[in-house]
Amino acid sequence: MSTATIRTSLRRTPRGATASRPRSVALTTLFMAICAFYFLLPMWWLIVASSRTTGQLATNHSLIPSSIGQLFSNVADVLTYDGGIFVRWLLNSIGYAVIGAAGATVIAAMAGYGLAKYVFPGREAVFNTILAGVLVPVTALAMPLFLMFSQAHAVNTYWSVLIPSLVSPFGVYLSRIYASAAVPGSLLEAARLDGSGEVRTFFTMSARLMSPALVTIFLFSFVGIWNNFFLPLVMLQNQKLYPITLGLFSWNTQISRAPFLQTYVIVGSLLSAIPLLIAFLLLQRFWQSGLAEGAVKE
């Protein structure tokens, strides 16, 4: 493993002649467009279905939106139903994901850094144990965690979902790889000579060098926690604590009793995709370069 030349810069080498094969370009672009249509269709359908009333859903099956006014009315209904529980779910999900991912990133980054830059007996054993953790299905942990939290009278609380989310073995793995590649030992030596403490060096210098990996770990954890369904399903009964995944699912189970919930589930699904879509748009640059580091293991 070389500590030299990190492939952080995206390849910008111009490719071959771009305009010499217009037919191939047209065909390929058409193919890509069809694929894009497939990937975007369900979200388009969400918009279309959200512009209808529950009754119209059963009769109108076209892919053209019906009424913008109805769309806004539906959104308003969803946001205010049951005391605004949907907004609460959205905030819960954001809370779990932001706090959980931030916490997970910090401790995983520190752990990976510690494993990468410092030598101590049993280091590889510790690392291998953590790595083995990546292979363990998270669902196997849910029941024992539930019993454990019951003992501490902490089940059905925010902590019961937040704390298990802080453990990111994959984050430690990524962080270790990146730390050993991006933070040269010489830099650390220089900092030591300058009198900077180890922890201070990490927070002021090394972390900055590791930032693409940190963003990757954060995004990876964020999406994982955002997606989380099984753990909250097991831990939570109070619907005020539900993340959006569990909330919409619980609405879906009640449709036979309350048919209007079908519309709410659809509108809610549309609304729930927005935060992450915005996050992706804003953080495009980071996740691309970060993922590159994770993929090309040096």
Partner 1 sequence: MSTAIPSIATARPERATGTVTAARRQVVQHKKALAIFLGPFLLVFVLFYLAPILFAVLQSFMKVSRAGAFGAPVQVFGGLTQYSAVVHSSVFWTSIEHVVIFFFVSVPIQLIMALLLALLLDSSLVKGKRFFRLAYFAPYAVPTIIAALIWGYLYQPQVSPFQTLTSSPTFGPLTANMIYFSMANIVFWTYVGYNMVIIYSALKAIPGDLFEAAKMDGASQLRIAWSVKIPLVVPALIMSTMFSIIGTLQLFNEPTVLATLTPAVTATWSPNMIVLATTNIPNYNLAAAISVMLALVSCAVSFTFLRLTQKRAFA
Partner 2 sequence: MSRRHNTKSWLAAGATLVVLPLSACAGVKAADPAGSGSTCPSAPPGTTVNLSMTSWTPGAQQNVDYFNTHVGDTMNPRIHVTLNVVPGGNSGTYQAYSNQIIAGNTGDIGMVEYPILPSYRLQQGLTNIASCPGVAGARSDFSPASISASEIGDPNALFGIPQDAGPLGLYYRKDLFAKYHIPVPATWQQFAADAPKVKAAGGYIAGFQYGQPEWFEGLVWQAGGRWFTSTDKGWIVNLTDAASLKVADYWTNLVRNGDVGQEDTFSPADWSDLGSGKLWTLIAPPWMSVLLATNSPASARDWAVARLPQWTSGQTATGMWGGSDYAVWSTCKYPAQAAQFLLWLETSTNALTVNNTIGGQFPAYMPAVTTVPAMAQPLTVPGATTGKPVKYFGDQVIWDPFTHLHASPAWQAGPTQSQTDADFSTALAAFISGSGTIADALRSTQAKTIAAIQAQGLAVVQEGSH
Q: Which residues bind partner 2 (CB under 8 A)?
A: 144, 146-159, 237, 253-254, 257
Minimum distance from CB of 253 to partner 2 (Å)?
7
The token duo for 159 is 């902590």
**Residue 282 makes contact with partner 1 by CB under 8 A:** no
Task: Find the farthest-apart pair of alpha carbons in the chain and give their distance in angstroms, rounded.
Answer: 75
> Is residue 24 within 8 Å of 30, Cβ to Cβ?
no
Minimum distance from CB of 149 to partner 2 (Å)?
7
Residue 144 and residue 94: Cα distance in Å, rounded? 26
Pick the piece of the chain touching partner 1 (CB under 8 A) from 42-50, 65-73, 74-82, 84-92. Answer: 42-50
Q: Which does 154 bind (CB under 5 to 8 A by kind): partner 2, partner 1, none?
A: partner 2
Q: Which does 295 bind (CB under 5 to 8 A by kind): partner 1, partner 2, none?
A: partner 1
Q: Where in 163-182 is the site for partner 1 (CB under 8 A)?
A: 163-164, 166-167, 169, 172, 180
- CB under 8 Å, gap of 24 or more: what pairs does 197-206 form? 202/110, 202/113, 206/113, 206/117, 206/179
Candidates 78, 90, 110, 210; binder of partner 1 (CB under 8 A) is: 110
> Is residue 96 within 8 Å of 289, Cβ to Cβ?
no
**Residue 55 makes contact with partner 1 by CB under 8 A:** no
Find all residues with CB under 8 Å of 272, minimum gap 6, and list them. 90, 93, 244, 248
The token duo for 163 is 């704390």
**Residue 115 makes contact with partner 1 by CB under 8 A:** yes
Pick the piece of the chain touching partner 1 (CB under 8 A) from 65-73, 82-90, 144-152. Answer: 144-152
Site size toward partner 1, by CB under 8 A: 113
**Residue 212 makes contact with partner 1 by CB under 8 A:** no
Say which amino acid occupies 183.
V
Nearest to partner 1 of 45, 72 (CB atom): 45
Candidates 91, 132, 190, 258; binder of partner 1 (CB under 8 A) is: 132
Minimum distance from CB of 138 to partner 1 (Å)?
7
The token duo for 248 is 């919409």
Task: Pick the closest to residue 179 from 155, 206, 218, 158 (CA basis).
Answer: 206
Minimum distance from CB of 233 to partner 2 (Å)?
10
Q: DSSP assignment of 45-78, as one string?
A: HHHHHHTS-HHHHHH---SS---HHHHHHHHHHH
> Is residue 149 within 8 Å of 160, Cβ to Cβ?
yes
Residue 235 and residue 237: Cα distance in Å, rounded? 7
**Residue 91 makes contact with partner 1 by CB under 8 A:** no
Nearest to partner 1 of 83, 144 (CB atom): 144
Nearest to partner 1 of 63, 91 (CB atom): 63
Nearest to partner 1 of 79, 233 (CB atom): 233
Please tell me the total number of residues recorded for the chain in this structure.
298
**Residue 291 makes contact with partner 1 by CB under 8 A:** yes
Q: Which does 159 bind (CB under 5 to 8 A by kind): partner 1, partner 2, none?
A: partner 2
